[in-house]
Amino acid sequence: MPSYLITGASRGIGFALLDQLSENADNVVVTIVRNKAATDSKIAAELPGRKNIFVLQGDLTNVESIQNAFTETKKILGDSLDVLIANAGLISDYSAFLSLNELGKDPKALTADLTQLFQVNVVGNIHLFNTFLPLIKNGQAKKIVTISSGMSDEKLALEIGLFEGGPYSISKSAMNMVNAKFQAEFKDEGIIFMGVCPGSVDTGHYDHLSPEEMQRNMAIGGKFMTYAPDFKGFATPTDAARDVLDVVQKATMEANGGQLVSHFGNKKWI
């Protein structure tokens, strides 16, 4: 039975991944979330009768909780795991629409923002990978996938003048190197480490912006329109998850090992 572990499947793309993978009763799907009770309730209401879903509590900022989730995962799956999808992550509302220069006017706040993003999006995932590698090594697919962002691509930033959202972009760019380093170490064992950008997805994260934030967000949108004039609007989490899974299932060591790709399977982010 194919086995999957997803972090952060309580909502958005993560929940859509959980839904689509668990539709197949032959799959066993484990998810690690911060709020287990709320996720259990959501699954009971929206995905009733899915006996192949297992919800565990864990937080990327708490290594002990990840280790505890590993112990519980072994009870469910035994000694192997096919695919780990590192979906959980932090998006900063504080720095999303500002430049590093603007943020630098409050050095303490900028430092705190960078530190928190790095702790969750980078350090937390490193601990996650190291913890679950023993199971991945025994799996069939042997894939560790990070849900990432085209915001981490320095070429995109330069091409369209995308100076906003620096701290988040930096954290995701760091994860690109994390995947490359793990890939360099474990290539000979056949384990694929890769990042996938799901594209522009309406997760509801920016539903409550202030007028100033809305204006800045529209300016960012204008930059993306110059990059992709044929852009037809945000994808739903369901569509984004379907695209991500298609890329993951087709991924090979030769084409994707240690790489970041888009939901198209290439470097076209939108």
Catalytic residue ranges? 168, 172
**Chain centre to alpha carbon of residue 123:** 14
Backbone φ and ψ for 45, nearest 5 degrees, come out as -80, -40
DSSP H or E run through 30: strand 28-33
DSSP codes, 1-13: --EEEEES-SSHH
β strands within 87-171, DSSP E: 143-147
Q: Is 113 within 8 Å of 103 (Cβ atoms)?
A: yes
Classify residue 268 as left (phi > 0), alpha (psi -120 to 50) or beta.
beta
DSSP codes, 43-106: HHHHSTT-TTEEEEE-BTTBHHHHHHHHHHHHHHHTT--SEEEE------TTTTTS-HHHHTTS
Distance of CA 191 to CAs 54, 144, 185, 226, Å?
A: 24, 8, 9, 37
Distance of CA 229 to CAs 45, 160, 165, 221, 222, Å?
A: 39, 12, 22, 11, 10
